[in-house]
Amino acid sequence: MVLAPLLGERRNDFTFTGADLDPDRLRSALDAALPDDTEVALGSDGWADFSDPWLGDLSS
């Protein structure tokens, strides 16, 4: 999936610190949070229908 043509070049860097962190588990959770090609193709209008995993559904 290439987002650059759609959204421009984007990059975020994260640093995780803590005792007994499992890098593979953390990487897997972050990878699972990425949108797939179908979700990216929906565009911002389609994304507005997604519920927020932290705040819940804000459309009501």
Q: What is the pLDDT of residues 12-55, one digit of tens each?
A: 788 999 999 999 999 998 888 888 889 989 988 898 888 777 77
Residues 6 or more apart whose CB falls under 8 angstroms from that of 60 comprise none
Q: What angle do CA 44, 2, 56 make, to 5 degrees?
A: 35
- Rounded CA-CA distance 44/50 in Å is 10
How much is the pTM?
A: 0.54
Residues in the chain: 60
In the chain the beta strands, taken as DSSP E runs, fall at: none
